[in-house]
Amino acid sequence: MNSLRAKYPHDDIKHRDIVFSGLPLDQANQAAKLLNRIPGVLCQAFASQHRVAVQYHMDEHSLLELETRLLEAGFHLDNNILQKIKRTLAHYCEEVYHDNRAIPEHNIKSRDVYVKVWEKHPHGDHDETPEELRRYL
């Protein structure tokens, strides 16, 4: 399978497996043909394992979107409990990724300036006990 790394050098490229039920036969090959027509998606079929390996950039596609396209085209995903858990976890991780990308980046410099000012400002964290009495204990 070719790599998307040349176009996207960051870690936002996902490699996922989509597993199909055993019947109807040849779903993996047909699904690979369909997914390879989508711009930004690379797909390789493993027919004997009833699965396809997909590679896509997170800003362009999601596993949920690709699975939805396959389901709408009449493909049958493997619905055993382990595959359901794997899919649900991948969907959750991708949703969190997109939610986190929507949060603006914190301005660390303004926070550092505030810390420096706070260090020089007299406040309740200073011990007013004279130095000689602190060692008297």
> Residues 11-58: pLDDT tens digits?
688 999 999 988 888 899 999 999 999 999 999 999 899 999 999 999
pLDDT at 123: 63
pLDDT at 6: 55
pTM (global) more than 0.75: no
> Residues 70-82: pLDDT tens digits?
999 999 999 999 9
First vs last Cα of the chain: how many Å apart?
Answer: 72
Q: Which CATH class is domain 13-101?
A: alpha beta
CB 78 within 8 A of CB 20: yes
Would the CA dihedral through 6, 9, 12, 15 be positive or negative?
Answer: positive
